[in-house]
Amino acid sequence: MDQLGRVVIAGAGIGGLCAALALSKQGIQVLVCEQATTLSEVGAGLQISPNALKVLRHLGLEEELRPFAFVPQHAAIRDYRTGDYYLKSPLGAFAQERYGAPYWHLHRADLHRVLVDACLQAGVELVLNSTVLGYREHVAQQQVSIDLADGRELTAGLLIGADGIRSNIREHMLGPESPRFMGQVAWRGVIPVSDLTVDVKPDACVWAGPGRHFVSYYLRGGDYVNFVAVEERSDWQSESWREEGDVEALQRAFSGWHPEVSGLLKSAHSTFLWALNGREELPTWHKGRVVLLGDACHPMLPFMAQGAAMAIEDGYVLAKCLSRHSLKDALLQYEQSRKPRATKIQQMSKANAGLYHMHGGMLGRMKLTALQAAGRFVPTVIQAKLDAVYGYDVTKD
């Protein structure tokens, strides 16, 4: 490993903090710049599959997170009207035994808070209200100068861009390019179980319907239900990628759906509305002494529930590569290791949108029926697809 001196990370999200913690555990000085004025996470639930849980375990966070977790019993796809199951794949004890780690549901705020505490205890410096605008490399000095929005300048041996889909670091590295609206929006929210008037199954459940789908699962030991409601739209005009949603509009969009869905939404009092954006595959994730991770280089549609998991894996693998190789070789090895997997899961997520939304009319329904038959008669076909995602372990040599 080169003598990096200080590593600066732009962005104190899940991926940036995982990278910071992994690097600090190797004795590297880490400074995280966060543009927000307070350390908090806007959002709701996360599905933390075994591939991500193995990283969190290796970082020493599993027991800290356990009190906040909910363990789903199945991953399910159900019909939006009848409630019939197209897929019901076991999780719970099955996932623990098959993959060597559990499948958990966590509130994003709980995971973020545990990561922040762990980083601070490990000596990571977190600086708020610090937006990284760009950088300048100094090859002879083996440093990069980092420009902040308030006029300050930092120097580091490596800059990590973990600043999301609208990454300033990515733009500075590869040129201006706006994220592409994917023709879908997502309502997200959390409902206390005490407010519900319907029973919700203890599963990670996708309700598939024409042009839209609905996801529900429990959080915080079963005290809350998280929902994500996705609708195809072409009329997103807001300059913001996220805004407060209209609960009544959400309820109308999913009226006529199964009583478990419509009943759950009757108990929703607030929601946020997200535009789902994406990017084409980037030509590179690194240049000189600058590297990207998470949504900054491979934003995910949420149809494999792997966005946070990929960022968690990225942070760990980047730190591991830096511990074993010179800087140039480490960044090359990181990209060669991560890019094929992240790109594949991006493609799987995009394909699932068509499946969940019954694209093709009757043909779309036939695909779901074929999935239902495969689950009943050739379950290994379904499991093999999940094995490639959940069985992956970046902590192994």
What is the set of active-site residues?
217
Among residues 336, 337, 352, the alpha carbon closest in space to that of 385 is found at 352
State the DSSP code for 295: G
Q: Are strands 29-33 and 6-10 parallel, antiparallel or unpaired?
A: parallel
Could you please report the per-residue DSSP string of 127-150?
ESS--EEEEEEETTTTEEEEEETT
User: Tokens 């495969």 sit at which residue?
Assistant: 374
Cα R_g (the chain), whole angstroms:
21
In this structure, the chain runs to a length of 397
Q: From CA 66, how far away is CA 64, in angstroms rounded?
A: 6
Q: From CA 205, how far away is CA 214, in angstroms rounded?
A: 8
Could you please report the per-residue DSSP string of 158-224?
EEEE---TT-HHHHHHH---PPEEEEEEEEEEEEEGGG-SS---SSEEEEEETTEEEEEEEEGGGTE
**How far is CA 224 from each of CA 74, 103, 199, 238, 373, rounded to the nearest angstrom?**
18, 17, 12, 30, 33
